[in-house]
Amino acid sequence: MQESILNESNVLFTAESEIKEICKPVFELLDLQYYSYGRFYDNGKCVLLSTNKNIFLNHFEKEYKLTVTPKEDNSNLKKIYNLILIDDNLPEIIADEYNLFNHGVMLDIIKKYPGYYEMFCYVAKKEATDPVNKFLNSLDKLENFSENFLESSKNNINSGIKNIIDLPISMKPLITGASRESKRNSYSIFHRGSSIFLSEKQLHCLSLLTTGKTTKEIARNMKISIKTVEDHLRAIKLKLKCNRKSALLYWNKE
């Protein structure tokens, strides 16, 4: 790691304890191992905040790209939900974190704006109970926390902008900012070495199913027909390679 890129005066170091305090509620909610925030500009500069600075120190030392993004054309996406499971086909950066930092299932919420994007990264402990179900059923709470985090960390983010990190080419992320007109969201699950994409309604169906709701109850909750729910679940089973509806409740444990 080059000292000119990251030094002890950077907000990543100076704000660590404050970020931990801000994140206490979400840590208790989801049994998290760590949380990180990044603002990445299209020109390769960025602001990084984390409850564990050593995560990013490891990234810089090994010159990892700072995001693992879904493998699709995301130029028209406004928001990306990227759920990364733990299996034998992990990207190098995630496998490394898993081994070094007690890294479990992780959820990235990536929000894109003209010229930059923000990434809110929630990482569960290896030993966390049902982390996938917790993530799927806490999306609204995580969205609210993300907004609150931006407000609570405003001074640190501004400090980071003043002392901005200029990433080397090898570490520059692959995502670029979207236009304001773009409103499409992407929901992806990194499973068995590839990204599996779900529609918003498919993800909603899956999250309700993991709470134990029946097809009829899901239909009532989503205000759609039972047949439409069955169609969504059939599509999800095909994508996740599950033969039975009941298997969807356990696919995350494979």
Task: Check which CATH number belongs to the domain holding 227 and give it.
Answer: 1.10.10.10
Bridge partner residues of 46 (DSSP) = 40, 165
Mean pLDDT of 149-164: 95
Around Cβ 69, how many Cβ atoms within 10 Å?
20
The model's pLDDT over 20-46, given as tens digits with 9 standing for 90+, comes to 999 999 999 999 999 999 999 988 899
Residue 130's pLDDT band (cuts 50, 70, 90)? confident
Share of the chain above pLDDT 90, in %: 46
Neighbour order of strands in the sheet with 103-113: 165-166, 45-50, 32-41, 116-125, 103-113, 77-84, 184-191, 194-198
**In which domain, by residue range, is 31 found?**
11-191
Quick: pLDDT tens for 61-70.
999 988 877 7
pLDDT surpasses 80 at 55: yes
Tally of domains within the chain: 2
Euclidean distance between CA atoms 55 and 106, whole angstroms: 14
Cα→Cα distances 227→164, 200, 231, Å:
52, 17, 6
Shared domain check, 170 and 220:
no
Residues 32 and 89 in one domain: yes
